[in-house]
A and B are shown apart, each in its own frame.
Chain A
Amino acid sequence: MSTRYDNNVTRGSTVELVIDGQQVSAYEGETIASILLLEDKTVCYRTRTNSPRMMFCNMGTCFECRVRVTQAGVSRWMLACNTTVQAQMEVDTGVALSQWIPGGNGDV
């Protein structure tokens, strides 16, 4: 379980988003990766053999923190560590690569 560090910090307004179907509240400026840690998620995506993976580098180089993000009806893979939360964002964790590579439904 991760926690927000409150000493010396003033956070701004809150943003409501949906993670795995659950309404979650975040602060503006927080990354999806932070919210996943705070929500105690232990998987970002699953490999083709269904093994769970989580963020490693937290700087956009390892691509282990990919999650499916749906916004305005468009669903795409995004890096949790490099993506700031936005209102109404829908984040799905634990999606397996094998579920989208062959014959997807036109999404990117």
Chain B
Amino acid sequence: MYDLAIIGAGPAGMAAAEAACEHGMRAVIIDQQEQAGGQILRRPPASFSVRAWLQQRVYRQLHQLYARFIKLDKLTHLHGTTVLGIGVEEHHFVLHINGPSGLEPLLASRVLVASGCFDMPLVFPGAQLPGVMATGGMQAFLKSQQIIPGKRFLFVGSHPLQLIVANQIAKAGGDVAGVFFSPSLSKYLAVLRSPLVLLRQLPNMLFFVGVLAQLLLRRVPVKFGTELVSANGDNALEDVVLKQDSSSTNMKPIACDRLGLCFGFLTNNDLVRQVGVVCSWSQNAGGWIADHDQGMRASVSGIYVAGETTGVAGASVACLEGRLAALSAACDSGKMEQPAYDTACGAVHAPLKGARAFAQLLAEASYPGDATIQRAMSDDAYLCKCEEVTVGSVRATLAQHPDVSDLNALKLLTRCGMGHCQGRYCHYQSRFLLATDRNLPVESMAGFTARFPIRPTSIGELIGDLRAEDME
């Protein structure tokens, strides 16, 4: 039995593991990837050697955390392992893990869920075409696999990350057709002018300005106030049609074989919801966010949350929250006295307050806006890519069933959300569509139910070595 099971080895999980080990907890960290670091430090394979990997100043603290993390010799690290569900027992939790040796139970007194986030999809015509990718996914090919994942790239979105990825691709020798932001330039300038940003986040801001300057020097067009109309091609992406906000006509199609979408991130919150943690809805901080107290305790006793699980806020917030969550777990299990806990938390709360304030500004600035999401959602676009359910067919179903006002009912009627991504890539837009259609507040609706197993798992994996006679 572990004192603490940490799910996710990104910044929050690594910081939590460090704090847990400092306080003598028997801890295990479980991650789907082969190496720790999370998406932000998605490392090259161990068999590669890459000189000067991610040397920019913004990564410095994370590299230091990673270096300390891999030296934690009392920590158990299960990599290549997915947690498919969490069972609640009277005094402990049972984590159903699926790793190299198959499906197994893992027992822990306390659980920290730090499962991160993923790129927010946009529903628009052609989104399902091969070649349309998450910008974060493209960046992972560059960072980790050291490949330029295409030939001619176009980026459309609202999050400043796309500037960084476009610049990395251009630097590596890829052809970047342009970086287009859906919000207007004035929206970003308003953030830049905030005293909070100018005082505390100047290095980050200068980093972005530097990246922008490099792109412009490379003659990559960077434009604001541009909307995505459609991605086109017979069997794969061939061109993308955009439209300037101010104009009623579409721009000339832009030829490309890769379209990067960068509209911010959605929290990976299926596990916390499956275990019964109370969550709230945030339209601009990633959808479902887990409710928690000052010490990162979630509503289910013994469950802690940190990082993007509590709202998309980036690596600095994640590190601090991870540390705080592990300190609370140590204190709650009697490994730490209250006064020592109060002192240790005090040191985290002040920097956390500043980091969260900046994250909130960034979330507001990089949220594409309800209007952009809605305009892209035309009737011929797939609302659910997995099950090929169009926006139009869902609207027609809603018109036929005026009594339906919740997402689970909509799912049963249309199969929207029933596919292999288990609704991760359509729950946000489905909620938006339903709320708009029924004139309901988007925050108030229940979501698709999160169930075990939270990732598609074959029956063969589930039954493992069991034979027919064992099951009688």
User: Are B460 and A108 in contact, CB atoms less than 8 angstroms apart?
Assistant: yes
- In angstroms, Cα B239 to Cα A9, docked, is 32
Contact of A34 among B147, B235, B424, B455 (CB under 8 A): B147
Contacts of A24 in B (CB 8 A): none
Q: How far is the CA of A37 from the CA of B258 in the complex (A)?
A: 11
Which of A33, A47, A58 is B388 in contact with, Cβ under 8 Å?
A47
How far is it, in angstroms, between the C-alpha of A108 and the C-alpha of B460 when the chains are bound?
6
B116 → A minimal CB distance (Å): 9
- Contact call B48/A29, Cβ cutoff below 8 A: yes
**Interface pairs (26), CB distance under 8 Å:** A2-B141, A2-B147, A4-B147, A4-B148, A5-B146, A7-B172, A11-B48, A29-B46, A29-B48, A30-B45, A33-B141, A34-B149, A42-B131, A44-B130, A53-B130, A56-B121, A57-B118, A57-B134, A57-B136, A58-B141, A59-B39, A59-B118, A62-B425, A63-B456, A82-B32, A108-B461
With known contacts A9-B48, A29-B44, A64-B385, A51–B147 Cβ distance under 8 A: no
Bound state CA distance, A63 and B424, in angstroms?
A: 10
A12 contact from B48, B118, B150, Cβ within 8 A = B48
Instruction: Tell me if A72 is interfacial: C-beta within 8 Å of chain B.
Output: no
Q: How far is the CA of A8 from the CA of B146 in the complex (A)?
A: 10
Instruction: Mark B residues whose CB is within 8 Å of A.
Output: 32-34, 39, 42, 44-53, 118-119, 121, 128, 130-134, 136-138, 140-142, 145-151, 172-173, 235-236, 257, 268, 385-386, 388, 420-421, 424-425, 455-456, 458-461
Query: In residues 10-44 of chain A, which contact B (Cβ within 8 Å)?
Result: 10-13, 27-31, 33-34, 37-38, 42-44
Which chain A residues lie closer than 8 Å to B132 at the CB level?
56
- The residues of A that contact B148 with a CB separation of less than 8 Å are 2-5
With A5-B147, A34-B147, A56-B132 given, is the CB distance from A61 to B421 under 8 Å? yes
Closest to A97 in B: B420
Nearest first, the 10 A-B pairs at minimum CB distance are: A29-B45, A58-B137, A54-B130, A12-B47, A108-B460, A42-B236, A63-B420, A8-B51, A29-B47, A108-B458
Main secondary structure of the interface of A (DSSP, over half): loop
Query: By the criterion CB–CB under 8 Å, are B48 and A10 in contact?
Result: yes
Q: Give every chain B residue within 8 A of A44 (Cβ-Cβ).
A: 130
CA distance A21 to B275 in the complex (A): 44
Contact of B47 among A13, A59, A63 (CB under 8 A): A13
Residues of B within 8 A of A9 (CB): 44, 48-51, 146
For the complex with contacts A47-B388, A56-B134, A57-B119, 10 further pairs of A-B residues with Cβ separation under 8 Å are A2-B148, A2-B151, A29-B45, A37-B147, A42-B131, A43-B236, A58-B134, A59-B136, A61-B421, A64-B385
| Cα separation A33 to B132 with both chains bound (whole Å) | 14
